[in-house]
Amino acid sequence: MAATQSADTVRTELLSRVLAEEVLDMPWLDRSAARSVLSAQGLPFPGKGRWQYSDLRALVEDAMTLEDAHEALGPVQNVEIRYLDRPATDAQMIELGSSDGVGELPLIDVNSLLFRSGTKLLADGNASLAAINDATGSVDRHLVSVVQGATLQLDERFESGNRVVLCRVRDSATLNYDLTMPSTDGVGYHCLVVWLAEDSSLNLRLASQGAQIRRSDIIVNVMGRNASATLSGGWLLENRDHLDTQVYVNHRIGQSRSEQSFHGVVDDQARSTFSGFIRIDRDANGTEAHLTNRNIALSPQARAHAQPELEIYTDDVICSHGATTGQLDDDSLFLLRARGIGEESARAMLTKGFLRQVIHSESGTALLSL
Amino acid sequence: MKLLELRDLAASVDEKQILNGIDLTVNAGEVHAIMGPNGSGKSTLSNVLAGRDGYTVTNGEMELIGTPVNGMSVEDRALAGLFLGFQHPIEIPGVTNMEFLKVAIDSHLIASGEEEMNTRDFMVQVRDISKRLELSTEFLKRFVNVGFSGGEKKRNEILQLMLLQPRLAFLDETDSGLDVDALQVVARGINEFRSDENGVVLVTHYQRLLNYVNVDFVHIMVNGAIVKTGDAQLAHEVEAQGYAGLGEA
């Protein structure tokens, strides 16, 4: 009988291949930290824990095969843009390779080790950026800084590949982030990490379709008082689409606020996972954090897993979370049909209505044809 | 012309028999009221007529403008001319009232072999009806019934009635939860709607709506059957004596 490879063997073998990968050598990039973290901690176990619903091996292998596919951005008012593949001084670019403070997310370290293209964006006024990288299918890394008091509107489109975007939102700054992920047959890992300083705010609006494998990690670290994070979004998966969305909101300090609302629709044999994690530290008194995730399965073969988690280390908080998975509401369907609207149209209207409640960006509305 | 004919109609919900042999004929130009205590089967009758899932006809006939409707889908009954007014109009977040009304009217037009209504004509018509029902046109942009007061929800039902112009309006406790002002607006809408071409059935618990809408027939429903039929005077008797006094009749 042929023995199936154990998760441990897969993990070890995969790690040694990642570490042996020939990385693009750029003197101003220090990849050694990522290398030592990976060597010491290893990759997660495929098929377990946070990797229960996404094929870790496929995502890591994909990252090892991708080529550089970077497209330069045009000049943008109030944004300083630096590219990894152009000459830069150590001081300007070194931060790009750093994953300090990201926490235990090994796929970020894989990206740190392998990324071949990247940008560093500095917004120091009111600015609007239509893309981070228009190219698809690369391993890339981006660092976004919104300086004190500045406001940046950022639109990002991600299809496949391996991308990590690190955003630092300084005191009293605002980051409005519209992230759309169109349908693709490919494989993709996307990770967005945001640090919020005092009085700063993040408004993230996510809209996604499905992929063969798509894992999207969103990490928000609330580091300053009066900071607020509003995360909303939705997805519509069809055929055999897959989407695994994991959101971590870490309240490091009190008097801060976060609100998450995500709606997902799965049809045919599609699979979605949503894991929403809120952590409130011991010193984060006066935090208010809310999370809702609602899912609708349109077909009996479709699956939507929802997993909200709270970790609270102080009493003085207002916190709520809830997740549901169900079908379209019978009463609503009856009302529409009783007005002569055919069942199929009625279902389509209700599905769109369900997503419209959480899709607020123009790009998201267009992507999901709402 | 017969718009609705129920002959010995019996129906069950979850295998529990609720309607026990109802006979009712509504002709064009007539307004009927069906009155009865809670639990008499009034709402079940509305749902059975509309073809809602879970309501099973166990005996009898049900014809809408000469066509048997048992077995027809909910939407086909609506397209054939039936309008069910809801006792509790539900909220549909994410679907605007405008979109809902437009798709509804277009479904009716397409079913009768016509073209979709052009948006400008639609807007003119909807604005006109809204004005008559004292509804701000702002509410057209809002999600269906979301954040509407009880009165606004019912006026929204009457708006749908006036827009869709069905042959038979079966209004299930449209008067419940309305204050006097809203009741008058709703009654005005029903009075504007009624004509020699259509029929109206008002299902109601109380007589007060009948102060504003003249009815030709009043039926008293008890335990899933119509136990007494009369003219508008009967409603006043109910008000004076209660259903208990009439149930034995």
> Is B111 in CB contact (< 8 Å) with chain A?
yes
Point out the least confidently predicted range of A90-104, A250-264, B193-207.
A90-104
Query: Cα separation of B17 and B59, whole Å?
Result: 11
- Contact list, B84 vs chain A (CB under 8 Å): 338
* Whole-number pLDDT of residue A115: 87
Across-strand partners of B17? B12
* Whole-number pLDDT of residue A1: 41
3-state helix/strand/coil string of chain A: CCCCCCHHHHHHHHHHHHHHCCCCCCCCCCCHHHHHHHHHHCCCCCCCHHHCCCCHHHHHHHHHHCCCCCCCCCCCCCEEEEECCCCCCHHHHHHHHCCCCCCCCHHHHHHHHHCCEEEEEEECCEEEECCCCCCCCEEEEEEEEECCCCEEEEEEECCCEEEEEEEEECCCCEEEEEEEECCCCCEEEEEEEEEECCCCEEEEEEEECCECEEEEEEEEEECCCCCEEEEEEEEEECCCCEEEEEEEEEECCCCCEEEEEEEEEECCCCEEEEEEEEEECCCCCCEEEEEEEEEEECCCCCEEEEEEEEEECCCCEEEEEEEEEECCCHHHHHHHHCCCCCHHHHHHHHHHHHHHCCCCCHHHHHHCCC
Tell me the fold of B2-247.
Answer: Rossmann fold (3.40.50)
> Are the Cβ atoms of B86 and A335 closer than 8 angstroms?
yes
Task: Quick: pLDDT tens for A57-94.
Answer: 999 999 888 876 666 777 788 898 888 766 666 566 66
* Whole-number pLDDT of residue A89: 62
> Is B117 in CB contact (< 8 Å) with chain A?
no
Task: Show me where the domains of chain B are located.
Answer: 2-247
* Whole-number pLDDT of residue A82: 82
Query: Cα separation of A287 and B45, whole Å?
Result: 52
B165: closest chain A residue by CA: A339
Residue A348 lies in a domain: no
Mean pLDDT over residues A97-105, rounded?
61
Residue A279 lies in a domain: yes
Residue A345 lies in a domain: no
The stretches in chain B having pLDDT less than 70 are 246-249
Residue A344 lies in a domain: no
Residue A357 lies in a domain: no
> Are the Cβ atoms of A332 and B92 closer than 8 angstroms?
yes
Task: Quick: pLDDT tens for B54-69.
Answer: 999 999 999 999 999 9
Residue A349 lies in a domain: no
Task: Quick: pLDDT tens for A298-338.
Answer: 999 999 999 999 999 999 999 999 999 999 999 999 999 99
Closest CA of chain A from B197, distance in Å: 20
> Are the Cβ atoms of B50 and A338 closer than 8 angstroms?
yes
> Is A340 in CB contact (< 8 Å) with chain B?
yes
Across-strand partners of B94? none
Mean pLDDT over residues A246-269, rounded?
96
Residue with tokens 């539900």: B90
* Whole-number pLDDT of residue A92: 62
Of A123, A139, A105, A124, the residue nearest A34 (C-alpha): A105
Task: Please state, for a pLDDT cut of 90, what percent of chain A lies above it.
Answer: 65
> Would strands B16-27 and A201-208 be described as parallel, antiparallel, or unpaired?
unpaired
Tell whether the model's pLDDT for residue A104 goes beyond 80. no
Most B CBs within 10 A among A328, A330, A335, A344, hence the mutation to make, goes to A335
Query: How many Cβ contacts (< 8 angstroms) between chains A and B?
Result: 74
* Whole-number pLDDT of residue A134: 65
Q: Which domain does A74 fall in, by range?
A: 9-329
3-class SS of residue B92? strand
* Whole-number pLDDT of residue B242: 83
Across-strand partners of A307? A275
Task: Quick: pLDDT tens for B91-111.
Answer: 999 999 999 999 999 999 999
Residue with tokens 């109802």: B22
Those residues whose C-beta lies under 8 Å from the C-beta of residue A312, and which sit 6 or more positions away, are A278, A279, A280, A319
Q: For residues A149 and A175, is the Cβ–Cβ distance under 8 A?
A: no
* Whole-number pLDDT of residue A66: 80
* Whole-number pLDDT of residue A226: 97
Mean pLDDT over residues A276-286, rounded?
94
pLDDT-based confidence at residue A2 (cuts at 50, 70, 90): very low
Most B CBs within 10 A among A332, A339, A350, hence the mutation to make, goes to A339
Mean pLDDT over residues A227-239, rounded?
98
pLDDT-based confidence at residue A292 (cuts at 50, 70, 90): very high
Query: Cα separation of A369 and A337, whole Å?
Result: 22
ipTM of the complex: 0.96
How many structural domains is chain A composed of?
1
Residue A76 lies in a domain: yes
* Whole-number pLDDT of residue A234: 98
3-class SS of residue B120? helix
